[in-house]
């Protein structure tokens, strides 16, 4: 890292445009798949592939610039501020979905039951409605099929909670090893964190298979099904991205790109991973446990 005050200004980049195309394809394909469009899933996978291509390409360019010595303390500060705002935007992203779940659970469902000053709401919209959460009894089972069961907290979700908490501990161990120049422990800590992340993803896939294949719990299972899959699905997507980031950091560690004084790339991914851990704790408590 340079120590002078000259701020490195990179040349124009096409990576933001590539990422925008990938995001448009991902969201467009997802929306199409919700309407049973057979092309939706393929477009969604294509969009995800474009996004991953953008992430690897753009981050590879940043790594090359860093290793070439273009970055100084001012650039490092900019990276930290940028990462902080990125994580803040992710907090707001998940807050919106948690807010939707809270509103449906604490307000909409009780109002449909006529609670408070909303007697006529229930009588006019759904006279036979009985408030309960999770809301699994649908007014039109043909249009919105009711699930046969729910995912219980003390099965796979509890195991996944332990896995993510353990991964946070192993990543902290790796960070400590980096600060103390213990290369072997750094590598072992990174490998352990990646393995725990992959196991988490595997259990999440198994949980979705159980939900769809045996419990008939789907995105179309009313407000509970839609919020459940949106929250857990987006979190799982973030875990996948975080695991990919950890693999990239491990490769850079093996190549000797970091030391005790210059390792923001490692720190940025660690911040992101700990954020994913915290979101999962909120999911486990409010989505799985307190039902």
pLDDT of 41: 87
Closest by Cα among 196, 174, 184, 199 to 249: 174
Confidence of residue 197 (pLDDT cuts 50, 70, 90): very high
Top-confidence range, 2-16, 35-49, 116-130, 179-193: 179-193
Report, as an integer, the average pLDDT of 57-85.
Answer: 83
Show the CA angle centred on residue 136, arms to residues 162 and 279, nearest 5°: 30
Report, as an integer, the average pLDDT of 178-199.
Answer: 96
Rounded CA-CA distance 253/237 in Å is 24
Q: How do residues 83-135 score in pLDDT, each as one tens digit?
A: 999 999 999 999 999 999 999 888 887 777 777 666 666 666 666 767 777 77
Rounded CA-CA distance 219/232 in Å is 11
Task: Provide the token pair at 281.
Answer: 């704790």
72: helix, coil or strand? strand
CATH code at 73-102+134-289: 1.20.120.80
Indicate left, alpha or beta for 93 from its phi (over 0: left) and psi (-120 to 50: alpha): alpha
pLDDT of 119: 62
Q: How do residues 218-267 score in pLDDT, each as one tens digit?
A: 887 778 888 899 999 999 999 999 999 999 999 999 998 888 888 889 99
Rounded CA-CA distance 234/95 in Å is 12
Rounded CA-CA distance 125/143 in Å is 17
Rounded CA-CA distance 242/235 in Å is 10
Helix crossing, 222-254 with 73-103: angle to 10°? 160
Task: Provide the token pair at 59.
Answer: 């981050």
Indicate left, alpha or beta for 181 from its phi (over 0: left) and psi (-120 to 50: alpha): left
Rounded CA-CA distance 252/148 in Å is 47
* Residue 128 CB neighbours (<10 A): 7
pLDDT of 5: 57
Residue 82 has pLDDT above 60, yes or no: yes
Backbone phi and psi for residue 69, each to the nearest 5 degrees, phi listed first: 85, 20
Q: How do residues 142-156 score in pLDDT, each as one tens digit?
A: 767 777 788 889 999
* Residue 21 CB neighbours (<10 A): 15
Q: Where are the alpha helices (DSSP H) in 144-221?
A: 156-179, 183-213
Show the CA angle centred on residue 78, arms to residues 61 and 52, nearest 5°: 35
pLDDT of 116: 66
Closest by Cα among 84, 59, 9 to 252: 59
pLDDT of 76: 80
Q: Which pTM was predicted?
A: 0.84
Rounded CA-CA distance 243/200 in Å is 10
């Amino acid at each position: 890292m340079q120590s002078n005050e000259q701020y490195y200004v990179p040349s124009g980049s096409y990576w933001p445009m590539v990422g925008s195309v990938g995001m448009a394809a991902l969201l467009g394909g997802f929306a199409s798949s919700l309407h049973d469009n057979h092309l939706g899933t393929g477009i969604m996978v294509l969009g995800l592939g474009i996004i991953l291509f953008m992430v690897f390409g753009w981050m590879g360019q940043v790594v090359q610039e860093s290793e070439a010595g273009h970055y100084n303390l001012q650039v490092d500060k900019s990276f930290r501020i940028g990462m902080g705002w990125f994580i803040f935007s992710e907090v707001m992203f998940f807050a919106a979905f948690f807010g939707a779940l809270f509103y449906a659970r604490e307000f909409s469902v009780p109002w449909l039951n006529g609670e408070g000053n909303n007697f006529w709401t229930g009588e006019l919209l759904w006279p036979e409605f009985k408030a309960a959460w999770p809301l699994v009894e649908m007014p039109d089972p043909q249009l919105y099929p009711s699930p046969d069961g729910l995912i219980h907290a003390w099965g796979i979700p509890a195991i996944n909670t332990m896995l993510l908490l353990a991964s946070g501990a192993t990543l902290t161990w790796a960070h400590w090893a980096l600060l103390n120049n213990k290369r072997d422990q750094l590598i072992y800590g990174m490998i352990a964190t990646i393995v725990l992340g992959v196991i988490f993803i595997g259990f999440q896939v198994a949980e979705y298979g159980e939900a769809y294949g045996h419990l008939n719990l789907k995105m179309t299972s009313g407000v509970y099904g839609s919020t459940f899959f949106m929250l857990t699905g987006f979190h799982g997507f973030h875990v996948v991205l975080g695991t990919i980031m950890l693999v990239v950091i491990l490769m850079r560690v093996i190549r000797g790109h970091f030391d005790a004084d210059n390792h923001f790339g490692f720190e940025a991914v660690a911040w992101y991973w700990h954020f994913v851990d915290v979101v999962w704790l909120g999911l486990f408590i409010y989505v799985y446990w307190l039902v």
